[in-house]
Amino acid sequence: MVQYNIALIGFGGVNRALAQLVAERNEQWQAELGFRLNIVAVTDLDLGSVVSANGIDARMLVETKFERGGFAKLSGGSAEADNEKVIRHAPADIIAEATFTNPDDGEPAVSHCRWALESGKHVVTTNKGPAALAAAELKMLARRHHVAFEYEGAVMSGTPVIRMAKTTLAGACLTGFEGILNGTSNYVLGRMEAGLGFSAAVSEAQAMGYAEADPTADVEGYDVRLKVVILANELLGGALKPADVSCKGISSLTASDIEAAAKDGCRWKLIGSAYRNENGRIEASVAPRRLALDHPLAGVSGATNAISFRTDLLGAVTVTGPGAGRVETAYALLSDIIAIHRAEPAYTTKEAAE
């Protein structure tokens, strides 16, 4: 039986949902995917840390109402989130990083990933900071230590985008993309169309688990800008930084802008895009756009996202699916772990050859 020991860094919506899946689906994964997961450590800024080489009961983790510092009450627990010690020394094969996204420098999540990779542990993360701001360094570190750095959930939660474009669209010559890449802002625009005020709509998106800890990132376009950087660098071979992407969010759109668009048979959408121009330069932007209702992205509603890839050989290829949500994003971590499991012989063979 293959069993991967995992450590959860950050125990908010996404990693809690992963723990819930572990509690409910390990038998199914073992039968269908050929492995099971064993949670050996958890750290969280509010709750503290807990390590157990034998494994921590996933159901207990999700069903217990822990108070601040509450992991101290568990065997092997402490009230402090001792991230570095846990990441470097817990007996984990895989680190699941799902702490807050820091759009400025990606920290402390970049360090969490670095410590894990340096210690020979695979990293799966939904955090956009490391993926957008330090992917080149972290991928190199991963290669050097024969482990994986996977971040499918950083764009469009569990909807397959990065791996799909890299593998299934290989050879189709991708030249650009445009899409609705933020669930919160798309949800807010839809609720405003239904007559709700901006702040009330943002509060709803927070309650549904779509929004960032600071929803400014969602409504001002900073979250989409990170996703555009991730996709442009990963799929178009760019080396973009957030400052290279012009960025405008939806916070200045008023109820009357939305009504006026509807009267003209249009709808506002926050669009992130990047294209390689004829000089080979990548032009990237984030901005609200008024789309005619027959535009392929105009009908994408709620927290659903969509991306239209422009390719030489196939023309436009569009993928639609959940863009946010706790379980949907936890699925992305599972999909990264599946990718690692399927590539595992490659990692062990390289190690043996050293």
Ligand X SMILES: NC(=O)c1ccc[n+]([C@@H]2O[C@H](COP(=O)([O-])OP(=O)(O)OC[C@H]3O[C@@H](n4cnc5c(N)ncnc54)[C@H](O)[C@@H]3O)[C@@H](O)[C@H]2O)c1
CB of 212 to ligand X, least distance (A): 5
79 with 43: CB under 8 angstroms? no
Chain length of the chain: 354
234 with 149: CB under 8 angstroms? no
Q: For residue 172, with 0-12 CB atoms within 10 Å meaning exposed, 13-18 middle and 19 or more buried, which class applies?
A: middle
Q: Does 44 bind ligand X (CB under 6 A)?
A: yes
With CB under 6 A as the contact rule, the residue among 9, 211, 235, 317 that binds ligand HSE is 211
Q: Does 210 bind ligand HSE (CB under 6 A)?
A: yes
Which does residue 184 touch among ligand X, ligand HSE, none (CB within 5 to 8 A, set by kind)? ligand HSE
94-97/2-9 β-pairing: parallel
User: Among candidates 26, 27, 312, which has minimal Cα distance to 170?
Assistant: 312
Which does residue 10 touch among ligand X, ligand HSE, none (CB within 5 to 8 A, set by kind)? ligand X
With CB under 6 A as the contact rule, the residue among 29, 71, 210, 222 that binds ligand X is 210
Q: Does 326 bind ligand X (CB under 6 A)?
A: yes
Residue given tokens 């779509």 in the structure block: 210
Q: Does 190 bind ligand HSE (CB under 6 A)?
A: no
CB of 165 to ligand X, least distance (A): 17
Q: Does 72 bind ligand X (CB under 6 A)?
A: no
User: Among candidates 258, 328, 268, which has minimal Cα distance to 300?
Assistant: 268
Sign of CA dihedral 124, 175, 172, 308: positive
**Is 269 among the annotated ligand-binding positions?**
no
> Which stretch in 3-11, 133-141, 234-242, 260-268 sits in contact with ligand X by CB under 6 A?
3-11
**Is 139 among the annotated ligand-binding positions?**
no
**Interatomic CA distance for residues 77 and 85, integer angstroms:** 13
CB of 44 to ligand X, least distance (A): 4
With CB under 6 A as the contact rule, the residue among 4, 23, 33, 45 that binds ligand X is 45
Nearer of residues 102 and 146 to ligand X, judged by Cβ: 102
User: Among candidates 307, 33, 15, 344, which has minimal Cα distance to 162?
Assistant: 307
Dmax (CA) of the chain: 66
CB of 324 to ligand HSE, least distance (A): 4
Backbone angles phi, psi at 251, to 5 degrees: -65, -20
CB of 238 to ligand X, least distance (A): 21
Nearer of residues 49 and 101 to ligand HSE, judged by Cβ: 101
Q: Does 13 bind ligand X (CB under 6 A)?
A: yes
> Which stretch in 27-35, 137-145, 168-176, 204-212 sits in contact with ligand HSE by CB under 6 A?
204-212
Q: Which residues contact 273 (CB under 8 A, 6 or more apart)?
A: 176, 177, 178, 179, 228, 284, 285, 286
Active-site positions read 227
With CB under 6 A as the contact rule, the residue among 48, 130, 221, 325 that binds ligand X is 325
Annotated binding site: 128, 212
